Amino acid sequence: MKRYFYIVIVSVLVFQMGYGQIPDKKLSNLMPLPKEITFHEGEFVITRDFSAGIQENSSKRVKKAVTRFIRKLGEETGVFFKQGFPVSQKRDNVLFKTSYDREGQLNLFEDESYVLTVSPQGIQIDAPTDIGVIRGVETLLQLVHSNSKFFYIPSVTIKDSPRFPWRGLMIDVARHFQPLDVIKRNLDAMAAVKLNVFHWHLTDDQGFRVESKTFPKLHELGSEGQFYTHEQIREVIQYASDRGIRVLPEFDVPGHATAILTAYPEIASKDTIYTIERNSGIFDPTLDPTKEKTYEFLAAFFKEMSDLFPDEYIHIGGDENEGKHWDENERIRKFKKHHGFKNNHELQTYFNIKIQKILKELNKKMMGWEEIMSPDIEKSAVLHSWRGENEGLPDGESLINAVKLGYHTVLSNGYYIDRMHPVENHYLVDPHPKGVSLTKEQKAKILGGEVTMWSELVTPTTIDSRIWPRTAAIAERFWSPATVINLNHMKSRLEKVSLQLEKLGITHIKNANVILRNITKENDIEAILTLSRVCEPLKNYERNKGGTEYQTYSPFTLFADACTSDALDAKKFNDVVLRLLNDPNDKEVRSNVHQYLSKWSSLSSDLDRFDNPVINQVKPIAVNLSALADILSYCMKHNKISSTQLELFDKHIETAKIPVVDVELAVIPSFENLVEHFKKYEKAMNN
Amino acid sequence: MKRYFYIVIVSVLVFQMGYGQIPDKKLSNLMPLPKEITFHEGEFVITRDFSAGIQENSSKRVKKAVTRFIRKLGEETGVFFKQGFPVSQKRDNVLFKTSYDREGQLNLFEDESYVLTVSPQGIQIDAPTDIGVIRGVETLLQLVHSNSKFFYIPSVTIKDSPRFPWRGLMIDVARHFQPLDVIKRNLDAMAAVKLNVFHWHLTDDQGFRVESKTFPKLHELGSEGQFYTHEQIREVIQYASDRGIRVLPEFDVPGHATAILTAYPEIASKDTIYTIERNSGIFDPTLDPTKEKTYEFLAAFFKEMSDLFPDEYIHIGGDENEGKHWDENERIRKFKKHHGFKNNHELQTYFNIKIQKILKELNKKMMGWEEIMSPDIEKSAVLHSWRGENEGLPDGESLINAVKLGYHTVLSNGYYIDRMHPVENHYLVDPHPKGVSLTKEQKAKILGGEVTMWSELVTPTTIDSRIWPRTAAIAERFWSPATVINLNHMKSRLEKVSLQLEKLGITHIKNANVILRNITKENDIEAILTLSRVCEPLKNYERNKGGTEYQTYSPFTLFADACTSDALDAKKFNDVVLRLLNDPNDKEVRSNVHQYLSKWSSLSSDLDRFDNPVINQVKPIAVNLSALADILSYCMKHNKISSTQLELFDKHIETAKIPVVDVELAVIPSFENLVEHFKKYEKAMNN
């Protein structure tokens, strides 16, 4: 019987708590929330004497993870530990101990559970596998708090395990190549929020990004020098494995294949000269599924890649092949007729079956985007559900179809973070579809989800700011109980997690400033930074109409690139306006609204002193914002709006709604709500 | 005869201009200043139609450099170029052309000169070698200016070549390992300021950082997993070569060898168990120069490294061997006696002669720190002069001795940037010693200089902020005419160059903010950022007394790590105080001083809301600063200082002088000068 007084927090209650309820401060840095958490009285204080132990013959994974933990704990607390490395836990006075039963395998369904107990006397993590231990270590790091005098970890018992076994982040390195350090820091961040699949989209029309020793022209002609060598691939796989993350490579065939065909046009469906694509969109170059040569090529290629990538799955893409070149090619048309294929989908299925066979011989299972679905594909395949409203289809339809056909499936529809939607849009998407009745078996076929980071509009400088922090919230969706859905709690934790991510090397905050300094050409970015915090990049690829505005090598050092979805100040302002509308007499809220308005009021003149073509294009946004803030400030002061002011407001708000430099002002609805309020308020007062 | 009106700027005049003279705005981004520069009327406007040409069969180096140029120009200007890659300059309408006579070799004394001409019609770079072309391209990028409507490059003729052929930056990756991306971004920055030797300090007591296939225990046991593979080394060499930079590897022997002896204790001078060193300082472990095995080992090792590193020089260290283990070892003592060596220096010379022979057989020349100097060392060796006042020796003495003995030499004394001195201390050190008469031949033996970045107190997060921007100014010392010594002009250009460096990926500005967010644990860092801009890390390793306060794995995420030498606001404040003392009635200056004081006045209370052990340790600095600023504000307003105030001032200034959290307040002398001023002023008024 433990001797502390138990403060039991029933998870369901905490996680579903409503607006206004204040969650425990001790949860404030945690994401994803664990399955079960019970805080006790007291805390473990972090001092110079902290020491971390590992069991006899501990796996390298645990040794490294605990070493990283000690390092991060030191950096977080500024405490100079006497003992900078893990020690044998047989020693006396080891304060943090880890134990596990067996080394985990980086396979689907591997046990990732752990139990973490913290008491004033010490810390203990126990898990069936070493992967569980490293998940627990990440939780532990998120439990560090401080008071004036010391840093501590609250006494707690956590029993945790993931809801879904497949929790992925896909990074497209084809459209914009992402060097090794980008990949590594994102793996660090993935580990911090317990994602376990790094889906590496390695090939596309715009580039072939992996060295091939079998077909060297692939990287020589298909990458413009931007590819990963085998040694680098192995380095990433090791790095991921150290963090309990699988690496799932994708080689997109038969479409999205311009880069492959630039190197080996002999397996193309059309006899032409191919060059690497520089625009975004869906293109026609496609492998020829009727030639034996194509399969010889793929058999040899996949053999090489199977040796390189240890994961049991290989993703073959298979998406967005419109088959134009198939239709144009008489030989292929004849082939279809000869085989009785009614359409290109059946021809592609023929192709996929052959690929699946090739992979099977290599002991690999096939994964593909939902377009590969067909009853003739073996059930070992995992279908990757991605299409939805944006593609004119019901959201998640393919997911349901897949499980009903008996396939395992992974959901990405709803997790397209490159579309620049606010975090809640993704957070509330559950891999288990709502309003659909599925059997337990069917539900179990839903393995989890994957966040997709397509890279048409990002460079190594900006990619982190598109992935993070929103992906941390999605990671919570994949890990935590389905009942964890409180938006306000998630958002407040996300702010903290965002800073944790930065400490891991994620550049989402700091690189925005770099871009803004490039725009002002000065160290002083206060004004433009303030502006950037109410502006959001256009959503749904509006920024890149038809995929032709931005090419691969266009500059991504513009104002829109420094802006993010969930614009920081806009979010806060919108919240406080909501509160004002609820209680127009709340003085604190009024003063808060006023502060924002007066800050924005001077923005236009603050920016005046900067003068170059880039910043001059941004200024109109500030002009409108300042004008609108002026009007609303006046209204706030006088609790009314005059007809002249209203006219001026309408004029500016109409201009403000027209996107400039690929961003939109994210406070417009709140401005309109405020004005509506004053209109009503005045009316009420006049009556 | 060209048709523009010539605005000839005679370099010597510009470069030596005194305080108050305003240099041409067109020079404002340039560093190092070129040898000869003549501006003309008009400018080349950068538009979408910009295109860059390369000559037939252009070297890869030029192709890549011009491609990088196009990319950077796009990012700088936000212009979407139609033509994103270099084209053949035989084409019509190629606006920027490059030509050279032969491919340059990355050897000492290679020609790096170039001629750059810009007219409204186009840009041309001509050079004897492709290395000259890429130097010119960097100059061109620093010439980009803007007005409200467009970006442009002013019409100009530049004839440029370096003053010294050896312009280096040494990075110590042993004390703190620096991953590949740190090295690469620093190579980018080096190229931008025309440095041409990357001296890679690869081994030391704290780590052996290169994979050895011949002696794998070196990296397996000597690096804690932090080393470069051969492929990575080759990648860096290629990266450097693309930028016209030589890579000079250093393997420090016979001292600084703890990591080597951890792996191979059989070649040590003392029979003991070695473990990797975690403190800083000078340590005893030393190779045994009396054993044949040692030379067999080194012969095989240097063979492997000679194959890996193409440069004609290998740096063998040779510094700071106190020979304690030699004295302790009876066999070694006997050996010395037997050979008639009077001291350990003679024994080390015996060792060095054997190494020089090994290297010679490998077609390599030897470089070593000045301690290797001895008349018996062949004259092909380059002596690396580093000791000075700090080591109780006259600054640069070894440099003079070396050239008098007929050796080539490279100066690092005066360029120890890790000592955290202000930029001018380094900038004014000339590799040609002042007040010493040397023959022309002797002078020619002085090859140039090397900036040394020892890494005891830096991590990958902070290293850039210790190297840059100061190294840009030193690079100017190595490249530009000796007459370029105007401090104010240098400093104003350095501010601009600092932003250019950031665009290349240098993290000196942005990472300070990351550390400050780690300290506040919040996004809001305004107050602590303001404080950091008047604080400087302690100089001369005072921060690490005796090398024992900070170990390899101590936290370097503290306030001192966010501060830099040449603290930004301190520098500006000190300047404006000087101006005030010159003219106490200058209203603009008074108001400027006042602004700083009132900003600092509120700092202490601004920091109040933060409360954790790390920031609480920083607060005393703010308390003193705010108190002092309060007093001085009052004095400014009333033009006098009362005795009570004076007493209070003295009290606070004395406390403020005691370093807290390893930083010093960099405005103290200005505060004292101001008070002196008020004391005098009051006196004068009283008389």
Model pLDDT for residues A314-373, shown as the tens digit of each residue:
999 999 999 999 999 999 999 999 999 999 999 999 999 999 999 999 999 999 999 999
* Chain A nearest C-alpha distance from B176 (Å): 14
> Which pLDDT score, from 0 to 100, does residue B75 have?
97
Cite the residue boundaries of each domain of chain B with CATH code 3.20.20.80: 166-486
Omega before residue A669 within 30° of 0, cis: no
Q: pTM, whole model, 2 decimals? A: 0.96
Cα separation, A618 vs B185, in Å, equals 30
With a CB cutoff of 8 Å and minimum separation 6, the contacts of A21 are: none
Phi-psi region for residue B293, left (φ > 0), alpha (ψ -120 to 50) or beta?
A: alpha
With a CB cutoff of 8 Å and minimum separation 6, the contacts of B455 are: B171, B172, B173, B174, B175, B176, B178, B418, B463
* A583 class by beta-carbon count within 10 Å (0-12 exposed, 13-18 middle, 19+ buried): exposed
Inter-chain CB proximity B147 and A611 less than 8 Å: yes
Token pair recorded at residue A291 = 């030639």
Q: What is the mean pLDDT of residues A518-532?
A: 96
Q: What is the mean pLDDT of residues B210-228?
A: 98
Token pair recorded at residue A156 = 């707690």
> Which pLDDT score, from 0 to 100, does residue A5 have?
37
Q: List phi, psi (to 5°) of B235.
A: -60, -45
Q: What is the pLDDT of residues B239-285, one digit of tens each?
A: 999 999 999 999 999 999 999 999 999 999 999 999 999 999 999 99
B1: pLDDT strictly greater than 50: no
What residues of chain A lie within 8 A of the CB of B65, using their CB? none
Cα separation, A428 vs A17, in Å, equals 16
Length of chain B: 687
Inter-chain CB proximity A148 and B180 less than 8 Å: no
* Chain B nearest C-alpha distance from A649 (Å): 29
Share of chain A above pLDDT 90, in %: 91
- Kindly identify which residue of chain A lies nearest to residue B560, measuring between CA atoms: A78
Omega before residue B32 within 30° of 0, cis: yes
Contacts 24+ apart (CB under 8 A), B394-399: B396/B433, B398/B370, B398/B373, B399/B431, B399/B433, B399/B446
- Report residue B686's pLDDT band, with 50, 70 and 90 as the boundaries: low
What residues of chain B lie within 8 A of the CB of A150, using their CB? 613
Q: What is the pLDDT of residues B173-217, one digit of tens each?
A: 999 999 999 999 999 999 999 999 999 999 999 999 999 999 999
Q: How many CA atoms lie less than 13 Å away from A265 in the CB half-sphere?
A: 9
> Which pLDDT score, from 0 to 100, does residue A687 have?
59
Q: What is the pLDDT of residues A36-50, one digit of tens each?
A: 999 999 999 999 999
Neighbours of A609 (CB within 10 A): 11
* Chain B nearest C-alpha distance from A77 (Å): 7
What residues of chain A lie within 8 A of the CB of B498, using their CB? 523
* Chain A nearest C-alpha distance from B16 (Å): 26
What residues of chain B lie within 8 A of the CB of A149, using their CB? 613, 616
* A130 class by beta-carbon count within 10 Å (0-12 exposed, 13-18 middle, 19+ buried): buried
Token pair recorded at residue A510 = 């700091």
A1: pLDDT strictly greater than 90: no
CATH architecture of the domain with range A34-160 = 2-Layer Sandwich (3.30)
Pick the closest to residue A162 from A189, A127, A188 (CA basis): A127
Inter-chain CB proximity A77 and B613 less than 8 Å: yes
* A574 class by beta-carbon count within 10 Å (0-12 exposed, 13-18 middle, 19+ buried): middle
Size of interface A-B (CB pairs under 8 A): 141
With a CB cutoff of 8 Å and minimum separation 6, the contacts of B1 are: none
Inter-chain CB proximity A613 and B78 less than 8 Å: yes
Cite the residue boundaries of each domain of chain A with CATH code 3.30.379.10: 34-160
What residues of A are annotated to the active site?
320
Neighbours of B546 (CB within 10 A): 9
Name the average pLDDT for chain A: 94
> Which pLDDT score, from 0 to 100, does residue B276 have?
97
A78, A150, A517 member nearest B557 (Cβ): A78
Q: What is the mean pLDDT of residues A404-416?
A: 97
A6: pLDDT strictly greater than 50: no
Cα separation, B445 vs B441, in Å, equals 7
Inter-chain CB proximity A499 and B521 less than 8 Å: yes
B18: pLDDT strictly greater than 80: no
What residues of B are annotated to the active site?
320
Give this complex's ipTM: 0.95
Chain A interface mutation, best of B71, B150, B510, B561, highest count of A Cβ atoms under 10 Å = B510
Inter-chain CB proximity B555 and A77 less than 8 Å: yes
Token pair recorded at residue B469 = 């921007």
Residue A368's DSSP bridge partners are A383
* Chain A nearest C-alpha distance from B611 (Å): 5
A150, A514, A614 member nearest B78 (Cβ): A614
B75, B499, B511 member nearest A517 (Cβ): B499
> Which pLDDT score, from 0 to 100, does residue A25 have?
87
What residues of chain A lie within 8 A of the CB of B278, using their CB? 84
Residue tagged 């060392």 (tokens): B377
The least confident of A101-105, A114-118, B19-23 is B19-23
What residues of chain A lie within 8 A of the CB of B229, using their CB? 231
Q: How is B85-106 classified by DSSP, letter by letter? A: S-EETTSTT--EEEEEEEPPPS
- Kindly identify which residue of chain A lies nearest to residue B182, measuring between CA atoms: A181
Answer yes or no: are the C-beta atoms of A134 and A160 closer than 8 Å.
Answer: no
> Which pLDDT score, from 0 to 100, does residue B596 have?
97
Inter-chain CB proximity B502 and A523 less than 8 Å: no
- Report residue B680's pLDDT band, with 50, 70 and 90 as the boundaries: confident
Pick the closest to residue A406 from A355, A449, A353, A443 (CA basis): A443
DSSP state of B266: G
- Kindly identify which residue of chain B lies nearest to residue A523, measuring between CA atoms: B499
Using DSSP's 3-state secondary structure scheme, residue A116 falls into strand
Pick the closest to residue A603 from A587, A582, A620, A589 (CA basis): A620
Answer yes or no: are the C-beta atoms of A313 and A366 closer than 8 Å.
Answer: yes
Omega before residue A254 within 30° of 0, cis: yes
> Which pLDDT score, from 0 to 100, does residue A2 have?
38
B463: pLDDT strictly greater than 50: yes
Omega before residue A469 within 30° of 0, cis: yes
* Chain B nearest C-alpha distance from A180 (Å): 9
Token pair recorded at residue A581 = 């509308």
- Kindly identify which residue of chain B lies nearest to residue A616, measuring between CA atoms: B148
Cα separation, A150 vs A148, in Å, equals 6
E-strand stretches of A503-645: 535-537
- Report residue A92's pLDDT band, with 50, 70 and 90 as the boundaries: confident
Cα separation, A285 vs A255, in Å, equals 6
* B129: Cα separation from own chain's centroid: 26
> Which pLDDT score, from 0 to 100, does residue A680 have?
84
Pick the closest to residue B103 from B161, B72, B62 (CA basis): B62
What residues of chain A lie within 8 A of the CB of B84, using their CB? 278, 551-553
**Which CATH code is given to the segment(s) A166-486?**
3.20.20.80
Q: What is the pLDDT of residues A627-655, one digit of tens each?
A: 999 999 999 998 889 999 999 999 999 99
Instruction: Specify the higher pLDDT residue, B184 or B10.
Output: B184
> Which pLDDT score, from 0 to 100, does residue A20 have?
40
Q: What is the mean pLDDT of residues B568-579?
A: 96
> Which pLDDT score, from 0 to 100, does residue A681 have?
75
Inter-chain CB proximity B551 and A84 less than 8 Å: yes
Q: How is B432-468 classified by DSSP, letter by letter? A: S-TT----HHHHHHEEEEEEEE--TT--TTTHHHHHT
What residues of chain A lie within 8 A of the CB of B514, using their CB? 502-503, 509-510
Chain B interface mutation, best of A152, A278, A523, A619, highest count of B Cβ atoms under 10 Å = A523
> Which pLDDT score, from 0 to 100, does residue A561 have?
98
